[in-house]
Amino acid sequence: MRAMGAFAAILRKDLRLELRSGQSTVALFALSLLILVVLVFTLSPDPANRAEASAGALWVAMVFAGMLGATRALLAENENGCMRALATSPIDPAMLYAAKLAAAFIFMTVAEGAAVILVVLFFNLEFGPELLRLAPPVVLGTLGFSALATLLAAISGRTRAGDLLLPLLAVPMFVPALIAGVKASAAALSGAELSAMTRWLGVLVAFDVLFVTLGGLLFEHVIGED
C-alpha cells in the first residue's frame, strides 16, 4: 500500500504540474505537427501507398515527440536535485520508475491522439472503423517507447550532452518495434485482415515486456550512480 501511495503521489504531482503549465503537451503537439507537415510535403503519397506513408509518418512523429515527452517528465527532478532525494528516500525505485513511465505515457497518448487526427486530415484518410483498429499498435508502441525513453532519459539527464545522447540511444534500440508498429498500423489503415496485424502486435507486446522489465530493474542503478 505504501508503494502504491508513493506511485500515486508522484504521478499526481507530475500531472498537476502539466495541467498548470501545459508545456509538455503543447510541445509534443507542436513537434508532431511540424514533423507531419514536413513528411506530408516530402512523401506526397498516392492512393496506392497512402496507408503505408501515413503509418510511417505517424510513428516517426511518435518517436521524436516521445523523446521530448520522456525528457520533460524527468526535467524538474534533474534540475533541482529532487531525483537524488527520491533515490535516497524509502520509495521503491521501481515505483518511481513506474510513476515516471505513467506520466510519459499519458503525455504521449494525448499527443498521439492529436497526431492521429492530423494524419487523417493531412493524408486524406477517412474517419472510420480503421481508426479503431489503429488503437492497439499505437497504444502498445507508445507504452514501449515511453518505457525505453524514460530509462534512457534518466541516463542522459546525468550527462552534459544528454540532449544528443538520448536520440542516439533510443532510436536504434527501438527500430525493431518501430518496424512492427508501422506494419501493424499500415495494415489497420488499409483495412487488411486482422491476421495481418497479429504477428506485428505480438512483436510490440514482446518489446513492451522487455523495455518495461529492463526499466524496472535498471532504474535504481541509474538514479543511484554518482
Residue spans of the domains in the chain: they are 2-224
Distance CA 12, CA 99 (A): 9
Predicted confidence pLDDT, tens digits, the chain (226 residues): 566 777 787 778 777 776 776 666 677 777 777 878 777 777 665 666 777 888 888 888 888 777 776 666 666 566 555 666 666 666 777 888 888 888 888 888 888 888 888 888 888 777 777 678 888 999 999 999 989 988 888 777 666 655 667 777 888 889 999 999 999 998 888 877 777 788 899 999 999 999 999 988 888 777 765 5
Q: Pick the closest to residue 184 from 126, 127, 144, 149 (CA basis).
A: 144
Residue 213: the pLDDT is 93
According to the model, what pLDDT value does residue 200 have? 93
The gap from C-alpha 199 to its chain's centroid, in whole angstroms, comes to: 21
Rg of the chain over Cα atoms, rounded to whole angstroms, equals 18
Q: Given this model, what pLDDT does residue 170 score? A: 82
Euclidean distance between CA atoms 214 and 117, whole angstroms: 32
pLDDT of residue 168: 79
Report the pLDDT value the prediction gives residue 106, as an integer from 0 to 100: 85
Query: DSSP states of 178-211 as a string?
Result: HHHHHHHHHHHHTT--THHHHHHHHHHHHHHHHH
pLDDT at 162: 57
Q: What's the residue count for the chain?
A: 226
Is residue 81 within 8 Å of residue 157, measured between CB atoms?
no
Determine the pLDDT at residue 82: 65
171 is written with which cell numbers? 532510436
pLDDT of residue 84: 64
- Nearest-angstrom CA–CA distance, 144 and 24: 19
Query: Helix H segments across 89-224?
Result: 93-122, 129-156, 162-189, 195-224
Closest listed residue to residue 149, CA positions, set 161, 133, 165, 136: 165
